[in-house]
Structure 1
Amino acid sequence: MDNRYESSESQRNKCAACYRQFNKMEHLVEHMRTSYHSAHEPMCGICKKHCRSFESLREHLIGPLPKVECERIFKERGCDLCLTILSSRNALYVHREKCQFSRSNNIGLTHRMANLGIQDDLKIDNNRAKVVSLACKMVGGGSDGSLDLCARVCLIDEYEKIIFHTYVKPHLPVTNYRYETTGIRPEFLRDALPLWQVQKKIQDYLCNGEPVWQIRSRCGKGRILVGHGLDHDLKSLEVEYPQMMLRDTAKYPPLMKTSKLSNSLKYLMKAYLGYDIQIGIQDPYEDCVATMRLYMRMRSQRHKVEEYPLASEPQNRNNFAAWRQSELEKMSPEKMLDISRSDYHCWCLDSSS
């Protein structure tokens, strides 16, 4: 009798999202208060366990210590790129053809054109773009060449068309051109646009006619900016832009390591889109395409629609307030999960903006 009671208590104190078990209900409440479980977390298609990142989900499905039953099913009909579970092996085969990108086929002609010339005027026909991707290539400055100076920048729209692509003349002397990876020679920068001109062009384009301090995340004119390590790129360009408009693949929780550190863009492309980038001399256009494709894949996820999806919104701030402790301890784990909200902006929300 006692054993049955303890078993039912442990089930009641089990998180409905990550399946962690707690000795007391008050401990589960505290866990829900700080975990920010939500419908936007990566979730196992077999046992429905929520994971903080796709890397955590990958460990759950593949190893080093996977859940045995989930691992077995995943090996039979799971996509190793998007981690979706399909209904059959045949369905998996059809899905995999669409899920995996081919570097040579998909970058193709536009990539070759990007290398043929520099486009230092913004394309007027791209003024309607709502989402753009930016990437820079850095040369070295300072006595030891370790100071990053932007020497080439590219901006594309969500259809991977070039908006702006130019060499940049840094305001400090270049002491290391890093030719092996940048392909940049001194003569390329001799008549390049000075940094201040590039900065103004990009700043004006991103703001799209609005002062930077008036840009809003919804219903405004400012454009969503996608990239990898955007803070570093924007600092090198001396461009100011609101954090709420940045979509950084280096900082997006579902794309980060289990340890909450950033993954490299090269790794993310191989793991989630199935092809290699940054081989030999690197082109910023290729990085733009890579981050845009990652963004579009994350944005296309179908999650439960919630009227107020973020924990930071006023309507959700009291969901797990301390003064509700007694009430929360009487709730089922499923009910607590239902009122829990995300602590990060899921990119699927951009589709409805």
Structure 2
Amino acid sequence: MEHLVEHMRTSYHSVHEPTCRICKKHCRSFESLREHLIGPLPKEECKRIFSNQGCKFCLVILNNPDELRLHQEICQLPSGVLAQLANLSIFDNLTIDNVQIRGPQVAALACKMVGGGGGSDGSLDPCARVCLIDEYESMIFHTYVKPPTPATNYRYQTTGIRAEYLSEALLLSQAQRKIQDVLYNREPMRKLRPTDGKASILVGHTLDRDLSLLQINFPATMMR
């Protein structure tokens, strides 16, 4: 019990962390949650329930197999692709690109950085993973990004990034163009405005740093 109390005092779990809906365990990333449920060494009780009632794409737990079947029909990817994503390595190397079919009014941006990707002292933290979602929490774009120099610390527990995920990742310039397509929505930079325009309002934490890493210019009046 003392160990549990000490863990709770020092862990500083965030409400934003993925949580197993069966045992309520906090995980540092969705990849960690996926391994907890269906990885090489899952928790057996969670694995048993998840195998019958869990969506292997979004990791939600449904009340019964019938609800799961209906859920999978409207989940992020069609059911035919969903079956292929049950393999962890397939999902983790996936680039999700819905840029062509969405023009969101609001987009949320998040980046994950790896360590030691350059600099005279190895202290630079280049972006190695980027994700955009719309105001309905639907995925617009997700990809891994190849750092300009080799990373020395992938910070897997918080980033979900492994070395093999970056071997075929997009270049920064390619990811940059995709994100600009979403944010600008065919409007020139000089015409971007928060009202009566086509461009998206951008929300997120540490947006200044994320946009700097992505080398994207975006007006402060359009950020929240």
Q: TM-score band, normalised by the shorter chain? A: 0.5 to 0.7
8 Å Cα contact 1:153/1:167 also seen in 2: yes
Question: Which residue in the other structure is 1:234 paired with?
Answer: 211
- Counting aligned pairs with the same residue, the percent is 55
Q: Distance in 2 between matches of 1:244 and 1:126?
A: 22
**TM superposition shift of 1:190:** 0.8
- Match in the other structure for 1:204: 181
Pairing partner for 2:134 from 152, 157, 160: 157
- Specify the SS of the correspondent of 2:152: strand
Matched with 2:113 is 138
How far apart, in 2, do the equivalents of 1:103 and 1:131 lie? Answer: 26
Match of 2:145 among 143, 160, 168: 168
- Structure 1 245/104 Cα, relative in aligned 2: closer, same or farther at 3 Å? farther
Cα distance in 2, alignment partners of residues 241 and 148 from structure 1: 21
1:124 to 97, 100, 107: 100
> 1:145, 1:176 within 8 Å by CA — same for their partners in 2?
no
Q: Which has the higher helix share?
A: 1
- Alpha carbons 1:145, 1:174 under 8 Å: kept: no
Q: Name the CA distance, whole Å, in 2 between partners of 1:162 and 1:198.
A: 15
Alpha-carbon distance change, 195 to 120 in structure 1, aligned in 2, over 3 angstroms: farther
How many residues are treated as equivalent by the alignment?
Answer: 144
The answer as to 2:154 corresponding to 1:188 is no
Distance 2:102 2:125 in 1: 29
Radius of gyration: which is bigger? Answer: 1
CA RMSD, aligned part only?
2.6
Secondary structure of 2:114's aligned partner: strand
TM-aligned CA deviation for residue 125 of structure 1: 2.8
What is the CA distance between 1:173 and its match in structure 2? Answer: 2.7
- The change in CA–CA distance for 1:184 and 1:145 in structure 2 (over 3 A counts) is farther
Deviation of 1:126 (Å): 1.8
The alignment's TM-score, normalised by the length of structure 2, stands at 0.57
Aligned to 1:314: none
Which residues of structure 2 form unaligned runs of 5+?
1-17, 22-29, 31-53, 60-75, 78-87
1: distance between equivalents of 2:168 and 2:160?
Answer: 17
The residue aligned with 2:49 is none
Indicate conservation of the 8 Å contact 1:131/1:225, yes or no.
yes
Task: Give, in whole Å, the separation in 2 of the partners of 1:190 and 1:119.
Answer: 13
Higher RCO (C-alpha under 8 Å, 6+ residues apart)? 1
Q: Which amino acid aligns with 2:179?
A: I
**C-alpha separation between the residues in 2 aligned to 1:241 and 1:124?**
20
